[in-house]
Amino acid sequence: MGQPKFEIENSTNDKFYFNLKAGNGEVILTSQMYASKQSCKSGITSVKVHAPEDSNYERKVATNGKCFFVLKATNGETIGKSEMYNSTQARDHGIASVKTNAPIAETYDLTIA
């Protein structure tokens, strides 16, 4: 199994976002869109700071019954969202994965050719 990592990418509208990937390569958290790469990097720093604290996670259930979570900063701003899970147990496992992986993940900038 590989190492966890943040990957910075470009969106189709010239904005930046990141994905946090677990050691198995699965995306466990996706950021909002950022106007600048520096803001995107600041978002990664915020995830590393806020991920270990359980109170920063909002556990949610979508109207289709799927579960997901939102990681928020202490000021209430959303830092990232998870994928949709089929159960609360799977969602909670995703949260545990972010808590474990985010603080030690390295950052890779995929926008550099």
Mean pLDDT by 10 residues, the chain (113 residues): 92 93 94 95 97 97 95 94 96 96 96 78
Strands 67-72 and 78-81: antiparallel
Spacing of C-alpha 23 from chain mean position = 14
| pLDDT of res. 39 | 95
- Considering the segment(s) 5-109 as one domain, its CATH architecture is Roll (2.30)
The model's pTM is: 0.93
- The reported pLDDT for the residue numbered 20 is 98
Query: In this predicted structure, what is the pLDDT of residue 113?
Result: 61
DSSP code of residue 80 = E
pLDDT of res. 80: 96
Q: CA 63, CA 104: separation in Å to the nearest integer?
A: 34
Give residue 25's region: left, alpha or beta (phi > 0; psi -120 to 50): left
User: Do the beta carbons of residue 14 and residue 111 sit within 8 Å?
Assistant: no
